[in-house]
Structure formats: C-alpha cells, structure tokens
Amino acid sequence: MIKWKKAWFLESERMIDPSLRFELQHIRTRSVDAEQASIPVIVQLKEETDEQFVHELYELCAERSCNAVDGYLSLLSGFYGRIHPETIRSLSEYDQVAHIFYDRKVQLFLDVAKKTTGSLDVQLQKGLTGKGVTIVIIDTGIHPHKDLIEPKNRIIGFHDLIHGKKAPYDDQGHGTHCAGSAAGNGRLSQGLYMGAAPEANLVGIKALDAEGGGSLSNVIRGIEWCVKKRDEYGIRIISLSLGSPATMPYRQDPLAQAAEKAWHHGIVVVAAAGNEGPYAGTISTPGNDPVIITVGAADDKNTKSHQDDEIAPFSSRGPTPDGLVKPDIYAPGADICSLNVRGSILDQQLPENKVNDDYIRLSGTSMATPFLAGVIAQLLEANSQLSPNDIKCILTNTSKEIKGDQAGFIDVKKAVKLAKQYVKFQKNFTHP
C-alpha cells in the first residue's frame, strides 16, 4: 500500500498556524511566480534567542529577492514581513523559532448611554471626568474634532503606522467616533453627545487604513508603541475596537499575546468582542484572551431604565476556542451618537446615520469598547493606584445582571464607590 507523505507545513502543525497552513496549501495548488508567492507573516522566536541568531535569520530572509523583512516586534521577540514559502520552510526547521503566523487582516468591528450606566451621574455628582488619565485609541486615526481640542487640545499624541503622517487625521472616521465615545466633551452639542470621560487625554494610533482594514503586525506595533511610551504620555488604557477571527489558542495567538503583555506592563486593555452574534463561539482576537477586558454590546432601547436593556443581537458570544467564558462585561453599543469626520468614508457611506455634520450614530461592540475605556478613566481618576486587575475585578463584580449571559452590564456608580474603598487597602502598596 502506498503511504502519502504529508506536506512539510502539515508536519509542522504546532509551529505553523492554521491560517498560514491554508495559504501555503493554496499557493501549492497554483502556479505563481516568486514575488506573488511571498506571504505576509509574523515570525515569533523563543524568548532566550540571542541577537546574533536574530541577525542570522534576517540574513537568511535576505537571500531571496522576493523576501522583505519589514521590522522587529519586541513584544513577541520576533519580526514581520513578506516571506517566500521555501524561506518559511527553512525558518520552521530552526529550534529557536517558536511560531510562524499568517499576518492576517484585522477589521473594525452617547447621549442615553451615559444615563443608563450611571456615567453621567458620576460626572455631575462626583466630578469624575477622566482628568489626568490618557486613553489610547488604536484604530483608523483621530480627527481634531472640536469636541476633542476645545477649549483645550486633549489629543496629546498621534502615531501613524499607515502613511507616517505627523498631524492627527482620520480618513475613515471610525477611530474618531470611538474617541468621542470615550472622551468627547460635547462642545458642539451643548453637552448632549458627551463621552464618559470628557476631560481625559487621548492618543491616536492609526493602525487601520481608509477602508477600515489592517494587519496583525500593525496593531501589535501600535500596542508595542504604547508600552514604550507609557510613562511619556501617562498611558493607562488602550481601546481596541477591532479584531480578527480567533483561529488558535490564545497562548499562541500573536495579537492576544501582545495585548496581554501590555496588561502586565500596567495598561488596562479593553477589546471588542466582535459583531458576529448571536452565534456562539464568535469572540474575536484579542478578545479571546482571558486576562484583558472583553466588551460586549448591550442595547439600552434608548431609555434611561435598565429594565429593558438586553444584549445586542450582533454582539459576539463565547465560548472562546479555549472554552473560556467571554465577554467579561457589557456596555452600550447600539445606536451610539458620537463624533463625525466630515468627508470621511463613514460620512460618505452612511449619510442616513448622521445627526448633523458633526455627529453620527453607529452600532457595534466597537462603540461599547471605547465607552468602557472612558468609564475606566473615571475609575482611575477616583483612585489612580488601581491596577488593571483591580479595574477588571471592580467592573465585573459591580455589574448589573443582563438576561442571557453571566457577564453583566456596567454600573459606574457602584464601580466608583468600590474603587474608592480600595484606597484604604493600598496605603502600603504602589502600582507602576
């Protein structure tokens, strides 16, 4: 009987991720030239790998003209670029190479909202507006909307991974809408469309293009930048209203790994659950990571009462590929009014959603995530010594029951009260 030999990438299943195996199989069945055959990948090395060996791998990749190593990813101890299948095969034979991932695409996934969550009450009664806390929005960019720059410019940083521009901009509009949900001050709406933390500082990282797409490596680079610049900008929160299908265990997933490492550097990472509901098992990465806070979207029915709130039908459900319960918490994500960028892709594509030239209504876990980021800024203003783990524990344990899930709906007033109670236990402890 003839025994068929497996393709090399099928024999290296533990090292080659499923998406990359699919691409390699696809190329194998077609006749393409070398340039077209090169594949965008992320190569993760074992942590003990020395710099000399990294240089040797760079040299190996440089031997083929169709290879292009674009840069190093310190959080993953690896690099990324477009690599020919034969070079990928050579890399897979090195003991120091831990994983090789397909650098797959990442996609995008407030008026009443503040009232149902208690965020507005906390603003008015406790004076908690996120002042002194910096939120990073990794998305399509950030537009200098008047709600963000007047009377004081709160966009204190901008990093463009798409076009390398220095001044803040947003050609798609999604990132600016998210920034407004987190920290818009409602200047052009007399305070009606105000975010959860209207005095928080913002940093915009453009990792997605005008079509709302990008690569895993770009988002990882954005997270890496936040870790490096944490102290310089006072970064406490990263908001990720984006994701990619979770195709592997979280311990191997490169985006989940990067998000978790930022968390362990003292930055609270909040990520959208995804918009593939109501089907089970649809949580995207990095929301599949058990450490970070994964946010689902609730529909508050445009009423102040919590009694009619329910999980939005589009909000992704767990379990994750590892069998873990997600999301961790729900926040308003249906019909959220926030900032519009005139002339942007969203502005042109969704004219029926516009309230006026300055505001637009959108729905998705993308909207729930930055709103929660703004709430976290309120908690950190109330108690700056809270760690990411403290924040997650407080939010989940003070949340209100919501029908259909064991995760609850945020209750900002209870969360702030508990955050302040932590102070008496923190006198002998400090957080970075």
Extents of the domains making up the chain = 9-103, 106-422
CATH of domain 106-422: 3.40.50.200
Mean pLDDT of the chain: 90
Q: What is the pTM of this model?
A: 0.91
Looking at the structure, give the CATH architecture of the domain made up of residues 9-103. Answer: 2-Layer Sandwich (3.30)
Cβ 259 vs Cβ 284: under 8 Å: no
196 has a pLDDT exceeding 80: yes
CA distance 355 to 319: 36
Above 90 in pLDDT, residue 234?
Answer: yes
pLDDT at residue number 306 = 64
Q: Is the pLDDT of residue 112 over 50?
A: no
In this prediction, residue 60 carries a pLDDT of 81
Give catalytic residues, as residue numbers.
Answer: 139, 174, 366
- Report in angstroms the alpha-carbon separations of 220 from 103, 136, 207: 11, 14, 9
Percentage above 70 pLDDT, the chain: 91
CA dihedral 139, 140, 142, 147 (to 10 degrees): -80
pLDDT for the residue numbered 431: 52
pLDDT of residue 291: 98
Confidence of residue 50 (pLDDT cuts 50, 70, 90): confident
Residue 151, preceding peptide bond in cis (omega within 30° of 0): yes
Per residue in 379-421, pLDDT tens? 999 999 999 999 999 999 999 999 888 899 999 999 999 999 9
The token pair at 397 is 């344990």
In this prediction, residue 116 has a pLDDT band, given cuts at 50, 70 and 90, of low
| Per-residue pLDDT at 1 exceeds 60 | no
Alpha-carbon distances of 164 from 161, 169, 202, 407, rounded to whole Å: 6, 11, 19, 40
CA distances from 109 to 53, 229, 234, 363 (A): 38, 26, 27, 9
| pLDDT confidence tier of residue 119, bands split at 50, 70 and 90 | confident
Mean pLDDT of the 293-316 span = 83
**Looking at the predicted structure, is the pLDDT value of residue 232 above 70?**
yes
Express each pLDDT in 324-372 by its tens digit: 999 999 999 999 999 999 999 999 999 999 999 999 999 999 999 999 9
